[in-house]
Amino acid sequence: MNLRRQFRLLPADETFLNEYGSPWETVVDRSQWVILHNFKTHRGYGHNSVSIAIRMPTGYPRAQLDMVYVYPVLNRRDGHTIGCTQTRQSLDSKQWQRWSRHRTSANPWNPQEDTLETHIYLIEDWFVREFEKCPEKALA
């Protein structure tokens, strides 16, 4: 896989991504994006791994990271609908599934503590918590 580096990340973010274990790249497509490939999902999804994209806003890390974009589209194997994932984002000549997930007032973005690393861990949590909504069928 030819991994693109179309812009530089903060050194701490690059170090984290290099140690995380998923191939990653930076892509400029109307915005700056970090794309992680072979990102592991929960076993209740139709794919064991996907690519995820995170838009890197101007002003990061003062400006917060928000949401995640998934390719290919994730569905639950048990047929339950995943809320707030109907919108598609054109990126890198593909249609990505937008997971509209946001921080809350109980867990706001803190630019002194939050980074690409904490956002990726939050994404991992979103993928797991999806199955807390209907746990009796999550692993069917």
Per-residue pLDDT of 77-120, as tens digits, reads 999 999 999 999 999 999 999 999 988 888 899 999 999 999 99
User: CA-CA distances (angstroms) from residue 7 to 27, 31, 45, 116, 135?
Assistant: 7, 11, 32, 15, 41
- Whole-structure pTM value: 0.92
User: Residue 127 is inside which H or E element, if any?
Assistant: helix 116-129
pLDDT at 140: 45
* Beta bridge partner(s), residue 53: 35, 69
Between 60 and 139, whose confidence is greater?
60
The alpha helices in 4-115, defined as continuous H runs, are: 11-20
**With bands split at pLDDT 50, 70 and 90, how would you rate the model's confidence at 134?**
low
Is residue 26's pLDDT more than 50? yes
Mean pLDDT of 57-65: 96
Mean pLDDT of 57-86: 95
